[in-house]
Amino acid sequence: MDNYVAIVFDSDDKAYQGLHALWNLDNRGDITVHGAAVIHRDQFGHVDVATKDTDPGLRTIVGVGLGALLGALAGPVGSAAGIAGASSIAAGTAAGIGAAAGGTVGLTADAVKSDEHEEAAFESGLAMQPGQAAVIAEVSEDWTTPIDTTEKALGGTVYRRTKGDVRDSSFFGDDYADYLYPYDYEPHFAS
Amino acid sequence: MNTLTDTIDQARAQARDLHRKIAAEMTNQVVSADLRDAATRAESLATSLQAAAKSQQPETQQHLDDAAAALKGVASDVRSGAQAGGAELRAKSIAALNQSRDALQHISSAIAAKRSAAAKQPA
């Protein structure tokens, strides 16, 4: 099955380990990773993408694609926020993209906490607290055990949605998958 | 190990190298020998994938054919960008980078299809 996964960790370093562990599962043939990236939510709620330090020209467009994907991973509430953020992302600066993406995840997390019924409805939706980092990836997996077992051992919480569900709920078409790195890399956050 | 899987795995590694090279070259304003070489490498890889695709299941074959088409696009973009230079070079380099990413997506999809089929075979 083709899925998008978000694996949330309490620190950047743990997320880096989670990224490498994911690619190791691919190398062993347990799963197939089509692309992955590491993101971080800062204390103000902004979300940054860890890129390779060799491609600064790609940093802006990475934010655009992942903003849509994060909204889709967060579920219906997050998707609504992602739509609202999309217009500002399209015309915004790099800082604006960070704020919009942060708003997407933040709104979802706040909505989940605001009402017990909503919490039950969206308990499987991605939620990131300030200071947390996450691995976002597109994978093919015949069973969920390899990722779940490996990433939980590193302290990660795994969220998962099928590729079909994400496509149905996204207003960005298929292109957001292109913003995930198609191989393992050493993540780097712009200072 | 399956020979086709070896071929696809090798193609994936080569396509990754190609993507890394184009991404690195995008920061340069001049056409390096490495970038010119990328066009030749992309075409060679496309030919290899087309040959590997011929005897495959339709799903895998389609992924490999799509990857080959994307790699031919990489070669075309790199060559035309190198001839034009300047802003056109940058635009073509971005296009080539995106096409190499598409190729990698199709190759990894072919690998996933093969792995899934192998996992379903009785021991």
Q: DSSP for A2-42?
A: EEEEEEEESSHHHHHHHHHHHHHHHHTTSSEEEEEEEEEE-
State the Rg of chain B over Cα.
Answer: 15
A52: which chain B residues are within 8 Å (Cβ-Cβ)? 23
Beta strands in chain A (DSSP E): 2-9, 32-41, 47-50, 133-140, 157-162
Provide the pairing of β-strand A133-140 with A2-9. antiparallel
Q: Do B16 and A35 touch (CB under 8 A)?
A: no
> Is the minimum CB–CB distance between B24 and chain A shorter than 8 Å?
yes
DSSP secondary structure code for residue A128 in this structure:
-
- The distance of B109 to chain A (nearest Cα, Å) reads 7
A55: which chain B residues are within 8 Å (Cβ-Cβ)? 23-24, 26-27
> Is the minimum CB–CB distance between A164 and chain B shorter than 8 Å?
no
Q: What is the rounded distance in angstroms from the CA atom of residue A24 to the CA atom of residue B89?
A: 36
pLDDT at A83: 32
- The distance of B98 to chain A (nearest Cα, Å) reads 8
Other CB atoms within a 10 A radius of the CB of residue B8 amount to 26
| Mean pLDDT calculated for residue range B53-80 | 93
Q: Do A182 and B16 touch (CB under 8 A)?
A: yes
- B47 pLDDT above the threshold of 80: yes
Distance of alpha carbon B37 from its chain centroid, rounded? Answer: 14
**What amino acid occupies position A72?**
A
**Interface list for A 26-45 with B (CB within 8 A):** 29, 32-35
Q: Do A57 and B119 touch (CB under 8 A)?
A: no
Model ipTM? Answer: 0.89
Residue B111 CB burial class (10 angstroms; 0-12, 13-18, ≥19): buried
pLDDT at A181: 87
Q: How high is the mean pLDDT of chain B?
A: 86
**Cα-based torsion angle of the residue sequence A43, A48, A53, A57 in order, rounded to the nearest 10 degrees:** -140
User: For the segment B61-70, what is each residue's pLDDT rounded down to a tens digit?
Assistant: 999 999 999 9
Q: What is the rounded distance in angstroms from the CA atom of residue B17 to the CA atom of residue A79?
A: 35
